[in-house]
Amino acid sequence: MLCDNHPVVKGILIFLVLAFPLATLQSAGTSAQALSAVPIDIEIPMAPTPVKANGAAHLLYELHLTNFSSRTIEVVRLDVLDDSSKVLATYKDDELATRLARPGAAQTSDKRKIAGGLRAIVFLEITIQPDGPIPLTLRHRLYCRSSDDNTGEELNGALVHVNHSSPPVLRPPLRGSGWVALSGMSNTSGHRRTIVVVNGKARIAQRFATDWVRVGPDGLAFRGDPAKLTSWSAYGAEVRSASSGTVVDVRDGIPDNDPTSDKKAIPITVESAPGNYLIIEIGHGFFSFYAHLQPNSIRVRKGDRVRSGQVLALLGNSGNSDSPHLHFHVTDGNSPLGAEGVPYVLESFDLLGILKAKSLLIAGGWKPEASQSAVNRRFEIPTENAVVRFSDR
């Protein structure tokens, strides 16, 4: 993980639900619509783009809920509806609470209660099965309760148009077998939930990020002395360009960390968290990001054109990294953390299984299920803790 525990600031307003007394709105060419009195402002900072994983399409996005009143508002239930008003998902009770975060706010026993002037963020992942159509739009219905009189009211709105453009298709940034997608795509990973404020704007650059660690034939991430970087299965692996493009940013010269030490080689800030890194502009407004690289191993310079599959650097343990791994993600801007993370898919990989516990990496070792054989996946993004094999070509 690159960075966490950062405050959240108010983002650009995407959809506004006006808090008026109950009334009826009538305008030419439209039907009457009741206005909600719930003082919750709903924002969707980034429209979801469908991405395929495990055979289904996944829509990951967030709702920012800001309470513009002085009283506490409790979100009791949330429905997500498609353009035909079909309910795609319903969240309430503990299931709703697990999708809520309160960045910057004091810890509370119930995240569903939003005090006056505060904000909550709902992290959503809508899964569309292979035979289901991708919605054109998504609409949201909140059931809220006021702390003043315990009365409930329904709030409809927060319409978002689903982005139907295809995610970039990339080659794997690594080669060989035993790669584990730690904190890979899911709705609960540390990457997914890390909001970083850069230059006055809160973003989730790591929305679809993966930390690629590696296990050897024994299923372990290292053998021998873990303080020696060469003991780790991933250390020194060739990091390759996932596509053709142009190098637009490079940082080098940051020492690797000792995996057994709590102290990093340099102080960790928003700027130093990626360690040694590369950003490559891959076209159509997208940028690929490779972090925690081995110092003095980067083989390209800013402005260089690179080809798909070209060796860029060696995998290291620099920056905010506890053990050797490659942090990889794709964004919509030339910035390690000051841009929005966007989905991508890999041309091909073999799914070998799932790492059920991170502790297996250092004790016991990961082993595939006896009944499970490798499954080739094409044009998908690996999900959290998937163990995969990449082509050696």
- At residue 28, the pLDDT reads 32
pLDDT(39) > 60: yes
Contacts for 93 with CB less than 8 Å, ≥ 6 apart = none
Q: Per-residue pLDDT averaged across 76-85, rounded?
A: 96
d(CA 300, CA 211): 22
For the chain, give the number of residues.
393
Confidence of residue 393 (pLDDT cuts 50, 70, 90): confident
- Segment 358-363 long-range contacts (CB within 8 Å, at least 24 positions apart): 358/182, 358/385, 360/219, 361/180, 361/213, 361/215, 361/220, 361/221, 362/220, 362/221, 362/222, 362/226
Q: Per-residue pLDDT averaged across 60-84, rounded?
A: 96
- At residue 122, the pLDDT reads 98
Task: Kindly report, residue by residue over 5-29, the tens digit of the pLDDT.
Answer: 333 333 322 222 222 222 222 233 3
pLDDT(118) > 80: yes
Confidence of residue 35 (pLDDT cuts 50, 70, 90): low
* Residue predicted with more confidence, 372 or 98: 98
Q: Per-residue pLDDT averaged across 319-343, rounded?
A: 97
58 and 185 in contact (C-beta within 8 Å)? yes
Strands 176-182, 375-380: pairing is: unpaired
pLDDT(333) > 60: yes
Q: Per-residue pLDDT averaged across 302-321, rounded?
A: 98
pLDDT(387) > 80: yes
- At residue 25, the pLDDT reads 25
- At residue 7, the pLDDT reads 37
- At residue 30, the pLDDT reads 35
131: tokens are 């035979």
Q: Per-residue pLDDT averaged across 173-190, rounded?
A: 97
Question: Of 205-214, 281-290, 345-354, 361-370, where does mean pLDDT reach its minimum?
Answer: 361-370
Task: Compute the mean pLDDT over every residue in the chain, rounded to the nearest whole number.
Answer: 90
Q: Per-residue pLDDT averaged across 73-86, rounded?
A: 96
Q: Per-residue pLDDT averaged across 177-206, rounded?
A: 96
| Intervals of CATH 2.70.70.10 along the chain | 169-390
Confidence of residue 108 (pLDDT cuts 50, 70, 90): confident
* CB atoms near residue 387 (< 10 Å): 23
pLDDT(186) > 50: yes
Q: Which fold has domain 24-161?
A: Immunoglobulin-like (2.60.40)
- At residue 248, the pLDDT reads 98
| Intervals of CATH 2.60.40 along the chain | 24-161
291: tokens are 């972090």
Question: Of 152-156, 201-205, 249-253, where does mean pLDDT reach its minimum?
Answer: 152-156
The CATH classification number of 169-390 equals: 2.70.70.10
- At residue 22, the pLDDT reads 25
Question: Of 94-108, 296-310, 379-393, where does mean pLDDT reach its minimum?
Answer: 94-108
Question: Of 90-94, 154-158, 374-378, where does mean pLDDT reach its minimum?
Answer: 154-158
Percent of the chain scored above 90 by pLDDT? 84
Task: Kindly report, residue by residue over 225-254, the tens digit of the pLDDT.
Answer: 999 999 999 999 999 999 999 999 999 999
